[in-house]
A = this chain, B = another copy of it.
Amino acid sequence: MNLPPLIQTFVLHFGEMGSRWGINRTVGQIYALLFLSPDPLNAEQIVQQLGFSRSNVSMGLKELQAWNLVRLQHLPDDRRDYFTTPGDLWEILRTLAEERKKREVDPTLTMLREVLMQTPSSDAERHAQTRMQDMHDLIELLTRWYDDIHRIEPSRLAQLLSLGAKVQKIFEVKDWLTGGGPERTGRSVPAAPADSGDTTDRRRPPSGS
């Protein structure tokens, strides 16, 4: 391996981290290298810099493409394949989430649904099913949230995130406006917003920011 020290540290770290996820060391390092590179790289250049065999690099790139983590492009008058990672980190994050969801979450949800359809034939199975139902509901809540949130454009999302727990105050506002308690979350007031003619017993607006 023949890299500037600063880059090498990063590449090695991602190699290690890669193996904690499903991804293997080689693939992690290839990705890290592409991520840091200002220009697209071809397989031969990666071989040069990381010292893996040509075939191993080929495999690694194939895997990264399967994960949609890497983009293939061509330079004029050069028929080798060049690879890059997206410049926008939010896009990378989204891809990562998308792919992991597809590979891990969705199959689990499917499995849970199938098993929950079956009729339990013992107390043990009955209990197991309630546990699985809980898990199913939680996962579904989280994925629905994700499906909803992941379309928000990055700068807005960043704003939202930096709000952190303060978003809770939205409930105070909502309660104040609707007169509903925090327990009742139902889509209970479909049409006209409650703030119009309602003169009875308003709450105080939330204090502090």
Task: Give A182-202 as 1s and 0s: 1 = Cβ < 8 Å from B's Cβ atoms.
Answer: 111111111001111111111
Map CB proximity to B onto A77-115 as digits: 1 under 8 Å, 0 otherwise. Answer: 000000000000110010000000001100110011011
Nearest chain B CB to A123's CB is how many angstroms away?
A: 8
Q: Is the CB–CB distance between B9 and A111 below 8 Å?
A: yes
Number of interface residues of A (CB under 8 A): 95
Interface residues in A1-44 (C-beta closer than 8 Å to B) = 4-7, 9-10, 13, 17, 19-22, 35-36, 38
Query: Quick check: is A141 within 8 A (CB to CB) of the other chain?
Result: yes
This chain: copies in complex: 2
Residue of B nearest to A88 (CB): B134
Q: Across the interface, which residues of B come within 8 angstroms of A202, CB to CB?
A: 186-188
Q: Which residues of B contact A55 (CB under 8 A)?
A: none
Q: Is the CB of B193 within 8 A of A197?
A: yes
Contact A159 B145 (CB under 8 A): no
A174 lies within 8 A of B199 (CB): yes
* Chain B min CB distance to A28 (Å): 12
Sample 17 A-B pairs with CB under 8 A, ordered by A number: A6-B128, A6-B129, A13-B107, A13-B108, A19-B22, A36-B132, A38-B127, A89-B135, A93-B138, A144-B161, A148-B165, A160-B168, A169-B170, A173-B177, A174-B199, A177-B206, A185-B205
**What are the 7 closest A-B residue pairs judged by CB atoms, nearest first?**
A148-B164, A187-B202, A36-B128, A145-B161, A178-B197, A148-B165, A38-B127
